Amino acid sequence: MASADQALTQALAALEPLTDAGSGRSLLELEWIQQVRVQNNRVVFRLALPGYANAQRERIAADARGALLQLGGIEDVQIELAPPPAPAAGHQQAPIGAAGHGGGGPERQPIPGVKHVIAVSSGKGGVGKSTVAVNLACALAASGLKVGLLDADIYGPNAPTMLGVADQTPKVQGSGNTQVLTPLESCGIAMVSMGLLIDADQPVIWRGPMLNGIIRQFLYQVEWGERDVLVVDLPPGTGDAQLSLAQAVPMAGVIIVTTPQMVSLQDARRGLAMFQQLGVPVLGVVENMTAFIPPDAPDKRYELFGSGGGAQLAQESEVPLLAQLPMELAVVQGGDAGRPAVLSAPESATAQAFRTLAAQLPLAAAA
């Protein structure tokens, strides 16, 4: 049997690899695992999770128990629950694009100068989430608000193309840990995107901690200035990016994008439930691709993907159905040309739907 000091050292070493799913930081460093001690053949420690991390409790407990029971002479693990630790002060910055493991404590930290943060999310890809985020941002700006767009879809950054700035590079001021990025201005909004920092054909192959790092940099190391609202275009699914954003910054809410078809509805339901579990207000559901409007027959509607899916999701989740967006050629043309349909085809049914959507959001009165 190892000495008491040796047993404690081994126990701490076994717990060291355990990390927060959002930031990738060690649970010991975050002080979510505290007061580790070894009593004969038993390891005892306190688990002190902040409220937003409660969804990780079972996973952390199981991982800790499994790691400790692998140690020689350890036959039992006792986990005590404790009040959440005090938030860490401040956040540590890193060079723009370096990402690493991100910085900062687990507390939600507002973005200086930004009044509201609204995320646009979807359970699966291919439902037009980025199109919704970009056109919504343009509609909000057209209503008189000062708007920023954070393209957090790290693996598929399309906002630069949709806003006509794919060939531009943002300015970076400062050096090392004090770098600050200046967003690009286009179509009345300020925008940053991973697509502006990499070559067009360069893939982004990152694990969760690096993803968390770049999202925090886009939130806190960008010169956003005074903004009534920051629209965040999240990647599809229920992964690290969604968790990182929910942990990092207080949000006015999230909009869930779906199409009417059942497959999209199933995935959107999971995404909506995730934000509810994280304590993020769900502002409502946007049903995209509700019906195809032929350019030569604007009075006709063809429901290519079924009908009623968005209304069903909104009803069962007890949230509003904010919009039903049609499919129009103007949307495709505007996105490819770098001038979204809200601006390039203001009289279209799509543009009118986006203006109605923007007016329903609780921040619209700030104009």
The predicted pLDDT at position 177 comes to 58
Measuring CA to CA, which residue among 150, 135, 361 is closest to residue 255? Answer: 361
Strand order in the sheet with 42-47: 33-39, 42-47, 76-81
Backbone angles phi, psi at 323, to 5 degrees: -165, 150
Task: Return the exposure string of 323-349: e unless at least 16 CB atoms fall within 10 Å of the residue's CB, then b.
Answer: bbbbbbbbbeebbeebbbbbbbbeebb
310: which 2 tokens? Answer: 């968005």
Average pLDDT of every residue of the chain: 84
**Whole-number Å distance between alpha carbons of 176 and 44:** 41
What is the residue type of 97?
Answer: G
**Whole-number Å distance between alpha carbons of 36 and 43:** 7
3-class SS of residue 209: helix
Average pLDDT over residues 53-78: 88
Higher model confidence: residue 154 or residue 12?
A: 12
Higher model confidence: residue 345 or residue 240?
A: 345
Which tens digits make up the pLDDT trace of 232-290?
998 887 777 788 788 888 899 999 999 998 878 888 888 888 888 888 899 999 999 99
The predicted pLDDT at position 365 comes to 41
CB atoms < 10 A from the CB of 15, how many? 19
